[in-house]
A and B are shown apart, each in its own frame.
Chain A
Amino acid sequence: GNSVTQMEGPVTLSEEAFLTINCTYTATGYPSLFWYVQYPGEGLQLLLKATKADDKGSNKGFEATYRKETTSFHLEKGSVQVSDSAVYFCALSFSGYSTLTFGKGTMLLVSP
């Protein structure tokens, strides 16, 4: 079956540090890939997505590139802020199918 594996957290960084959160997937075929973010006390929000190999999704300074050869979709940001503290979820879905397969989430804690 399809699955998503994320690095375990929490990831703790100082403000302005570089961020990488690893995500790899197992799937038959070529899914669309997503990063969702959940701020404390809120629901999940779509952060960025990529629908085919080599696509780069970007939003709010975050980036992720769909790497078919390594089945990965790592999330990066050059300089994190305290306000980026949240839980980040990697997910996949297939065109024509409605459901998302989520990873377990990675908590990011950014200190001033």
Chain B
Amino acid sequence: DAGVIQSPRHEVTEMGQEVTLRCKPISGHDYLFWYRQTMMRGLELLIYFNNNVPIDDSGMPEDRFSAKMPNASFSTLKIQPSEPRDSAVYFCASSLTSGGRTDTQYFGPGTRLTVL
């Protein structure tokens, strides 16, 4: 099993540019999560999907952030325009509902975003 795949692993961009982060969940998983990790705020849940439908986006910090899941094997997190305070590591995770439980999440390696 390839695990959760994220790309790119590192992204350096200038303030004002659009940034798109990509995620491929584990095949067959029905939940997908986007997290952001910073030293100051720790690990924050941004948004999650169930069967490609966004369920809760209350963690998305601003309208500059948007996420989509066009199919079961692909999701994107877009920041437009980017700002230096968006610099962080962004993680994607997926999980599978089994017997009514959806609790074990599998994380990707993360994308380290630096906005100059």
Contacts and interface: CB of A to CB of B under 8 A. Distances in A.
Interface of A: 32, 34, 36, 41-46, 49, 89, 93, 95-100, 102, 104-105
B42 interface: yes
B107 A95 contact: no
A100 B105 contact: yes
Interface stretch (B14-22, B63-71, B73-81, B95-103): B95-103
The 6 closest A-B pairs by CB, nearest first: A43-B107, A98-B102, A44-B107, A93-B103, A104-B42, A43-B109
B25 interface: no
Contacts of B50: 98
A99 B42 contact: no
Contacts, number: 56
A89 to B, nearest CB: 7
Given A96-B102, A98-B33, 20 more contacts: A32-B103, A34-B103, A34-B104, A43-B4, A43-B91, A43-B109, A43-B110, A44-B43, A44-B105, A44-B107, A46-B105, A46-B106, A49-B103, A49-B104, A95-B101, A95-B103, A98-B31, A98-B50, A102-B42, A105-B42
A89 B31 CA distance: 21
Interface string B5-49: 000000000000000000000000001010000000011010010
Interface of B: 4, 31, 33, 42-43, 45, 48, 50, 55-56, 91, 93, 95, 97, 100-110
A43 B48 contact: no
Contacts of A96: 100-102
B104 A95 contact: no
B101 A44 contact: no
Given A95-B100, A98-B102, A42 B109 contact: yes
Most central of B31, B48, B100, B101 by chain A CB within 10 Å? B101
A37 B13 CA distance: 29
A87 B106 CA distance: 16
Contact of A43 (B56, B97, B101, B108): B108
